[in-house]
Amino acid sequence: MSSRPCTATWSCPRGRPWPRRPRARRTWSPRLVAKGWPLLAEVAPAAAAVVTPLAHDPGPLVEALAATPQTFVHSNWKLDNLGTDDMGRTVLLDWEQPGRGAPLSDLAWYLAINCRRLPQSKEASIAAYRAALEACGVDTGSWWDRQLALCLLGALVQFGWEKALGGYDEELAWWETHAVRAAALLS
């Protein structure tokens, strides 16, 4: 099938299958990311020693997680994407990036991105998630601790720059402790 009808519809120059995106204004995110990563090495050197190499090459983490159970994941469990229906069930919105992954990656993302807005402690959230899985008949005994440690490490690989912007506070200390502990699982 020729792409010609498509390019004509999109008014694309020949040989360019997709229209150019309009230039976006510069946003704050790239500057904050650029500021946050070096800051992590200053304020939390033990965390930086573990997560910075993984930010450049996540292969060891991906490989370690691949050896744990996988499921269909949402991949963006921020509070703005969670709701409750009329029967009190949790509803997940914004399904832009679902896929196969470690089930606890959604939990780790939730803990990292919502850290200042959590309705309960991280530990209570982790316990509630596990209890919900087990109430549905999922046996978590053989894989839970390993996958949780690796997923928490993965969340810090994604958000280490952001955690560093707050300085070395209770939040970053919690993540650093978990990242350093999980590093041993990569070998």
Residues 81-104 as b or e (16 or more Cβ within 10 Å = b): beeeeeeeeeeeeeeeeeeebbbb
Tell me: the pLDDT tens digits for 22-70? 455 555 678 899 999 999 999 999 999 999 999 999 999 999 999 999 9
In this prediction the pTM is: 0.79
Give the pLDDT score at 175: 97
Tell whether the model's pLDDT for residue 178 goes beyond 50.
Answer: yes
Packing angle, helices 45-56 and 144-164, rounded to 10: 100
Of the options 3.90.380, 3.30.160, 1.20.1050, 3.90.1200, the CATH number for the domain spanning 27-186: 3.90.1200
- For the stretch 104-161, pLDDT in tens is 999 999 999 888 888 899 999 999 999 999 999 999 999 999 999 999 999 999 999 9
